[in-house]
Structure 1
Amino acid sequence: MKQKVELNSSPELKPGLNLVSAAAISIGATIGAGIFAVTGIAAGEAGSALLLSLILAATCTLLTAISFIELISWKPAEGSIYYYSRELVSPFIGFLVGWIWIISTLFTGATVALSFAHYFRDVIPLSLKSNQIALIIIFLFTILNYIGLEESAFVNNLLVLLKILILIAFVVIGFFFIKPENFRPLSFSPPHIFIAAAIIFFAYGGFARVAIIAEEIKNPRKTVPKAILLSLLISTVIYFLVTFVALGLAGAVRLSHSGAPLSTAIRQTGLKWTGLAVGLGGVLATASVLLPSLLGVSRMGLAMSRQRDLPAAFQSIHPKFHTPAAGVVATGLVMALLAYFFDLSKVVSISSFSLLAYYSMANISALRLKNWSRSYPVIISWAGLIFCLAIGFFLLFSQPSTLVISLICLLIGTILYLFRKKSANF
């Protein structure tokens, strides 16, 4: 007997992720290159007050996370704040939010791939150049995303577990070698503490990545908020302990002069093998950030294509693997080109500013919810918005070129938005 086939049906995304996998994706996107790289840069700004900057960045992230929870409780949506700002603010603002997030994450992903390559060459010396290794890892992770999210989630869970174990070992071993004098004198300069908080915020940037794949998570109204809060709690505890131990081992000055601050810190123990272990942690950390970056951009492309903000090809769902095939391939290709041809060491400030703008819109969208029974006081969203704007101001104060580059990206996005209305391919 022939089965009835609906001619207008199309493959849909498969909701197969549970709380553990969802939280692991968020943790993997959060605890990554940031904790291994920006600790030294932030220490150069805040000095021995580095922990105050960490607390400030964590507070900003927590307030914004609560706004996310309000929005997700209202309506889970593939695309996250892009969708919410489009529905609650305006379609144009929503497009710009999604566009800037994609640009930021593409550059961040390429940077992370290059960072992975440098750590990998430190652990296993190879004749391959760093950009060649970056191409290989992007290619492999693109395949993982192409063949199915659950396969990607398994690998991501493994990377997150190994990375956390290495960071815990760093804390436990390093704790016994802390020198109290490295915490003195306590430097207190509010502008520099805010600048350091903006830098550290980059390390928190992926906490809400799981919201972008809400349609692929089981019971997203309950699972996504739990995953966000769980990942934020775990990430903050690990960040605080690692930063405390690193500062106690090496001091702010030594950390600020190191491109690999955690390796520099652990070497103060005199245990030779610890440097190799932390190098391996750097490999795992950067790898576990690259995977969610590839994942997130392709899903954002899917969400924007559904609203005709990107070409219809990005709506293509693979009939077997149930993944946005065109988006996955395009994301991997662009990241690979950026990683191969560009030095992206200075793009951290661009990504951070874009993330702050992105999360500001999360708070604004939460403030615009009408006729909705809130789980949290509205003052929390106001506080989250103020924190994001304040930290963003100090980031621009320290990196004026970030504003120029961000405006150029906005201009390109605006042109694309206007062009889409005249094209039949959207």
Structure 2
Amino acid sequence: MEVKKISLFSCILMGIGSIIGASVFATTPIAIKIVGGNGIVLGFIFASIFVFLKTFPEMVLTSALPANGASYMHLTRLIHPYAGIVHAFNQLVIGTMKVATMALTFATYFKMIFPSIPEVVVAVAITLIFTVISLYGISFSAKVQNICVGILLAALGIYVFSGWGNTVVSLQEVIATNFELTKMWAAMGIMHGSLIGANVLMYAADEIENPGKNIPIAFAVGTVFTAVLYAALAYVTVGVMPNFYQIDNLATVAEKFLSPAMLVFFISGGALLAVVTSINSAILMFSRSHFAAARDGLFPDAIMKINKHGAPGNSIWLNSAITILAMISGFNLTDVINITAIPGLLLSPIIFASVFAMPYKFPNSYKTSFLKIPHWINCLIVIVASALSLLLGSYVLQQMQPKNYMIMIAFYILAFIYTYFRIKYLKDKKGFDMIAKMKEPYQPWIAREQAASEKLSSKGNN
């Protein structure tokens, strides 16, 4: 089945919509209370630099070797299947918890308009709505995303431009005031999640036009644009309400300078649409990762089934089912953010390691990729990004409660037990070697390597 691929323009809007989501509305008040109002503007700028460093190794990999499932595919084929297995289970945590974060944040803002409806009901409902949208394939999801992002940017623009004239603290004062470095690190560990999102595109690379070029461009444009917007939004937030410990959400600030009608538009067109664009992207991203792992045998065969719209339907339902289960089990927003942040930071260096192996396994694809950067520079960025991930992760770890540790430890124990018996079952009952399958090169990469070889030979002859 031929799947209609999305363009560079749709990629950029998908990336922006993925970044501007639940995280900025959920984590900005939390980050402000950690670092203080005086550090939040610079915090977003620093966090965006960290996001570039953290995501750049993955961009290098995707530029040379694009594939649905992205990091999982790179780890299993370039490093070792067990590294990919760890990542696949991380994605089960990060993916479902991210969608839960977004759905719970959506419910928080929705309740401001319709206070009588229970938040968990709203969170489950919005998850189901975007699950159904995702089932119609990436092209339909992209169209929905484009419309939502346009309205979203209008709402955030109203907040920034209207709020700027109502600030009681100048931008210079906010930036010049001192802040504690340790608190800044902790806040950045949370804020970086507000700026990560454009990497969703890497996980659906097989469904994007010219992914090796378009994905890096869309990532760069989306991340820079959003970082500047966030910095402006952060200044307005603390500039209007310098007693920042009273900020529970951005609507609390917006009601101080927006008319009732504009406040409703900000909540519905800004906060609510920001959340749904991220839900849309997250379901797209993580379902493709689950699909790739199922294709190798790690998850049941049913998870890799493709529906008539070219979408991995069962994988989408798996992601959403776990999300809904987490929400109705009583997880609150802070628990979800912490559980999501730790695997995303402390285990990121596992993903980055693939960069070291690529020039040895796919040298021609590496040399002819869109991001033509010397290998030693890429390796240096990997080392810096890994160190920063571990540093920020350690600070976020200090914010966690004992129950968060217990849940994460229990999850990895269960994942180990499941993997052991899954490998044994496939080998004994079906004669299928899952580890050997994970080591097999991805067929489109072989074709890409051959084309790159011919291109280099042609240049050499000329």
Q: Same fold (TM over 0.5)?
A: yes
SS class of match (2:167): coil
In structure 1, what is the Cα distance between the partners aligned to 2:388 and 2:229?
22
Alignment of 1:231-380 (within 5 A): 231-251=222-242, 253-254=243-244, 256-260=245-249, 262-269=250-257, 271-280=259-268, 281-318=270-307, 320-345=308-333, 346-357=335-346, 359-371=348-360, 372=363, 373=367, 375-376=373-374, 377-378=377-378, 379-380=380-381
Q: Which residue of 1 aligns with 2:196?
A: 205
Change over 3 Å in CA distance of 1:404–1:335 after alignment to 2: closer
Unpaired segments ≥5 residues, structure 2: 435-462
- Give the match's secondary structure for 1:77: coil
Distance 1:107 1:180 in 2: 36
User: Which whole-Å CA distance do the structure 1 matches of 2:226 and 2:277 have between them?
Assistant: 14
Instruction: Measure the CA separation in 1 of the matches of 2:153 and 2:13.
Output: 11
Q: Is the 8 A contact 1:101 1:358 kept in 2?
A: no
In structure 2, what is the equivalent of residue 406 of structure 1?
408
Deviation of the 1:134 alpha carbon:
2.1
Q: Is the 8 A contact 1:52 1:193 kept in 2?
A: no
Match of 1:8 in 2: none
Per-residue deviation, 1:198: 0.6
User: 1:1-150, aligned counterparts within 5 Å?
Assistant: 11=1, 14-47=3-36, 48-123=38-113, 125=114, 127-150=116-139
Partner secondary structure for residue 88 of structure 1: helix
Match of 1:7 in 2: none
Aligned pair 1:214/2:212, yes or no?
Answer: no
- Percent identity between matched residues is 23
**Which amino acid is the alignment partner of residue 392 of structure 1?**
G
User: Residue 140 of structure 2: SS of its match in structure 1?
Assistant: helix
Instruction: Tell me, yes or no, if structure 1 residue 230 matches structure 2 residue 224.
Output: no
Per-residue CA distance 1:285-304 (angstroms, 9 max, x = gap): 11111111222222111110
Three-state SS of the structure 2 residue aligned to 1:268 is coil
SS in 1 for 2:155: helix
* CA apart distance, 1:201: 1.4
Contact 1:134 1:340 (C-alpha < 8 Å) held by counterparts? no
Determine if contact 1:107/1:344 at 8 Å carries over to the other structure: no
Normalising by structure 1, we get a TM-score of: 0.90
The one-letter amino acid paired with 2:354 is: S
Provide the C-alpha distance between the structure 2 equivalents of 1:71 and 1:219, rounded to a whole number of angstroms.
14
1:375 maps to a residue whose letter is: I
Q: 2:439 aligns to what? A: none
Q: Aligned pair 1:195/2:195, yes or no? A: no
In the alignment, the residues of structure 2 paired with residue 230 and residue 105 of structure 1 have an alpha-carbon distance, to the nearest angstrom, of 24
| CA distance in structure 2 between the aligned counterparts of 1:270 and 1:207, rounded to whole angstroms | 30
Q: Pick closer, same or farther for the CA change 1:245–1:127 going to 2, 3 Å.
A: closer
Deviation at 1:400, TM superposition (A): 5.7
Is contact 1:64-1:362 (8 Å) kept? no
Aligned AA (2:177): L
Query: Partner of 1:128: helix, strand, or coil?
Result: coil
Q: Distance in 1 between matches of 2:176 and 2:46?
A: 20
Seen in structure 2, the aligned counterparts of structure 1 residues 226 and 358 have a Cα distance that, compared at 3 Å, is farther
Write the distance in 2 (CA, Å) between the matches of 1:75 and 1:325: 25
Name the TM-score, length of structure 2 as normaliser. 0.83
Q: CA–CA distance in 2 between the matches of 1:369 and 1:306? A: 22
Task: Give the aligned partner of residue 3 of structure 1.
Answer: none
What is the rounded CA distance, in whole Å, between the counterparts of 2:258 and 2:64 in structure 1?
A: 53
Q: Which residue of 2 aligns with 1:397?
A: 398
Contact kept, 8 Å, 1:78 with 1:299, in 2: the verdict is yes
> Does the 8 A contact of 1:40 with 1:257 survive in 2?
no
User: Quick one: which amino acid aligns to residue 343 of structure 1?
Assistant: F
* 8 A Cα contact 2:145 2:280, kept in partner: yes
Give the drift of 1:65.
2.6
Q: Deviations over 1:307-353 (max 9, x none)?
A: 211111112111x2111121122223222333333233221011111
Deviation string for 1:379-416 (max 9, x for gaps)? 22222122111111111123264544333322222222
Letter in 2 for 1:190: L
Q: Which amino acid aligns with 2:162?
A: I
- Aligned letter for 2:191? I
Deviation at 1:359, TM superposition (A): 3.5
Measured on the aligned residues, the alpha-carbon RMSD in Å equals 2.2
Deviations 1:358-383 (A, max 9, x none): 53333322233334445252322222
> Would you say the 8 A contact 2:185–2:392 is kept in 1?
yes
Alpha-carbon distance, 1:234 to partner: 1.7
Separation (CA, whole Å) in 2 of partners of 1:407 and 1:367: 29
What number of residue pairs does the alignment pair up? 410
